[in-house]
Chains A and B, each alone.
Chain A
Amino acid sequence: MTKRDGTSLQTRASEVSQTCTSKMSQIQINLKALIIINKMNTQYRNFFSMGTRLDAVFVNIDEKQADILASRIMNDLNKLENILSIYKPDSELSILNRTAFKKDTSVSPNLYEAVSLCLDYYKLTNGVFDAGRAKLTGSAAKEKRNEAGDISTILESSGIGLVEINAENNTIRYHGENVKIDSGGFGKGLAMREVKKVLISEGLGNALISFGESSILAIGTHPHGSYWPIAVEGIFEKQSVARVARLSNQSISTSGTGFVDASGIFRPSYNIFNPRTGKTIDDPRTMSFISDDPLEAEILSTSLLIDSRCLSEEFNNSGKEAFAIIYDTNKNFVVREIL
């Protein structure tokens, strides 16, 4: 009998736990994935949220405070998910997507703000960030794209550009029959904004939040350094660090065009596409964006992945960082500075 699954993350968690216990006070991992490092008062919590996992490391905080904080974050994200999920048929966004064609639809302030932000970023990226084309994403969209007629019809009748918002009465109206807003490109960014608000309001000086690993929020600094060092790795070879981002009160978001399977073959995810043409971006590459605003990092990492020149020249002097990792035919990576 195999005693342990060598690839299991939980097994690795247990191994780390055992190592730590031998020298320090303790590291405990239970089913709540609770880790306490007593000496440093570093607390760890993790949970499922918005279709992925959130890992939180809080520094200089006691266990009870960490529980309260984690619970508050989880509740806030659950509320956000109930508004923005396109996988929940009763979410506010799902209802909006079903009802707003040619009809002014009243929405909550939160959803109104989210859609408003989508319009802002649509303009900022010269139409590259287009959250109104949910019909083109996913595997169903892949099949559609094989039929040129369908694509052109959807392109003409969808897109955030066909969304009208009215600030006076918080209503939203779609002017295209195929307009469907997809929160996939901005939901996690909004979530990380919420997390940041909670951490700051609670006066937490140092923390690191990973939301599905592709979005990282770094508050303050690492306990033993002057920033949080985050390594962005090449996708073909694990532990091949392409760039180390030095974050302090910043976020980094990394978007990619697919994943590498167990046999080392790149598999496009077919969910990154040019909204102007509907054409997917299927070659292996990632784009990382560093910003003090998690939402901006989330949206612009995806936008630049689609079109690295979509931002105006002004961004080059904004103090923000963006870099792409691209691969040659031998799967060797090259880091390209974008900003």
Chain B
Amino acid sequence: MTYKQSRRIFLQKTALLTGGLFLGYHFPDIRALANDQDNVADTVRLGIIGTGSRGQYLMTHINLIPGIEIVAVCDNYKPNLDKGVEMTGGKAEAFTDFRNLLEKNDIDGIIIATPLHLHAVMSIDSLKSGLHVFCEKAMAKTPGECLAMYNAQLETGKILLIGHQRMFNPRYLKAFEMINRGQLGNITQVRAYWHRNNDWRREVPEPSLERKINWRLYWDYSEGLMTELGSHQIQVANFIKKDFPRRVTGTGSINYWHDGREVFDNVNLVYEYPDGSSLIYDSMISNAHYGYEEQIMGPKGTMELEAGRIYSENPPPAPGILQLLNNIEHKIFDPLPLGGKSWIPETAVQDKGEYIYEVDLEDDGTALEMEGFAQMIRENRHSDILLREAYYASIAAVLGNEAIKKGEMITFPEEYIL
């Protein structure tokens, strides 16, 4: 299925969702996608800062979307910059210093896909230059930087969107809507994990570039697994809980990749929400068997959002009973196949659940998110809901590391509550 086909189905499906109660508080700005993309009013002109692997990934998706043009690329690592220019067919203007790019006066917005420690300064400078900003997750490296970014948006009125693409993923949106309707009951626990089995390194042409290329492994530039992976899943948990965790405790260490890195190669945390429910989170890079998942649990059922499945706490109805109900409705008086061997709960254990969303889209939300950003620019409409989601998820991710480092229960600081 092409992106265009997927998108059309997505919009048809989500049109139903947007009519529901969910929009009242927490529905992401999929309204931004409502326009016909074949007839977009204006082409949105973007500059992209950081054309490494993530930046290239974003560009691949942007290139699928009519009405968006990348007119400038910026990277201070030449191979990445060259690749960025190449991906625009050689059309984009190249920069090695992002401040020079910001002076360019024919762009509408900036995409930032740089190491974490640069997110705040680049976002704030971009906003203050009068540009709309899409910044990759996590929002920033410290709670203070997150707050500064949030305030810069308020001050400038420009769009600031953080790259939590699950908020644009149709499967997740459908799940959020089902959860909001109470299909799982009150959510009492979220269990999320992200497991990989690799060293999380990228090839380094020469030793002097180690920290530049493998920035994710060093505290000066990164918060490791928590901001690169965990922030996505914390954001999902927060969105479902319609709140953010007030306390966190846990452990973490380098227990396998003893290769000079600084950040943990495993983290194991418990976040507590005000209603007493919890997010149990772990991430590791020495075993990939379980992959990644967000398991949402309530008294009525469980959802696995990555797998896209929902499991009921109630057993499936007996087939004969369904036939009986159908017969009663249609005034049929036929024998009911019920008298047989006992149904045993092992059958339920083998039950693979039901799909949350019936359409398989190739996009994980990234293309829709890029399209959403462009449409938000056209409408000059910022989403405070999405920014707050990113804000609280990012700070919670950082606080998780703090809890591990201090070996203490960390409380969400009052001064960072918006």
Contact = CB atoms under 8 A, between A and B. Distances in A.
Given A12-B319, A210-B320, A254 B326 contact: no
A47 B315 contact: yes
A239 B340 contact: no
A288 B338 CA distance: 12
A148 B100 CA distance: 90
Interface in A215-251: 216, 222-225, 228-233, 235, 238-239, 241, 244-245
Nearest to B301: A31
Contact of B344 (A8, A42, A212): A212
Nearest to B318: A55
Interface in A1-57: 1, 3-5, 8-14, 16, 19-20, 23-24, 27, 29-33, 35, 37, 39-40, 42, 44, 46-48, 51-53, 55, 57
Nearest to A36: B325
A43 B313 CA distance: 19
Contacts of A244: 335
Given A5-B352, A53-B343, A20 B326 contact: yes
A32 B335 contact: no
B325 A3 contact: no
A231 B322 contact: no
A32 B314 contact: yes
B288 interface: no
A240 to B, nearest CB: 10
A73 interface: no
A213 interface: yes
Given A9-B319, A37-B328, A235 B341 contact: yes
Contacts of B340: 213-214, 232-233, 235, 254, 256, 286
B23 interface: no
A254 B341 contact: yes
B336 A230 contact: yes
A12 B322 contact: yes
Contacts of B313: 31, 48
Nearest to A48: B315
A33 B301 CA distance: 11
Nearest to B184: A31
Nearest to A224: B333
Interface string B309-351: 0101111111111101111111111111111111111001001
A31 B321 contact: no
Nearest to B181: A30
A interface majority secondary structure = mixed
Contact of A213 (B325, B327, B343, B351): B343
B39 to A, nearest CB: 31
Interface in A76-128: none
Contact of A44 (B319, B321, B343, B355): B321
A9 B339 contact: no
Nearest to A5: B352
Given A48-B315, A225-B333, A229-B335, A10 B326 contact: no
A212 B373 CA distance: 53
A231 B338 contact: yes
Which among A4, A46, A241 has the greatest number of chain B C-beta atoms within 10 A? A46
A252 interface: yes
The 7 closest A-B pairs by CB, nearest first: A9-B316, A53-B315, A231-B335, A1-B360, A232-B339, A225-B333, A214-B342
Given A31-B301, A33-B316, A238-B337, 17 more contacts: A3-B360, A9-B319, A19-B326, A31-B314, A35-B325, A39-B329, A40-B328, A42-B325, A52-B343, A53-B345, A57-B324, A224-B333, A230-B339, A231-B337, A233-B339, A239-B337, A286-B340
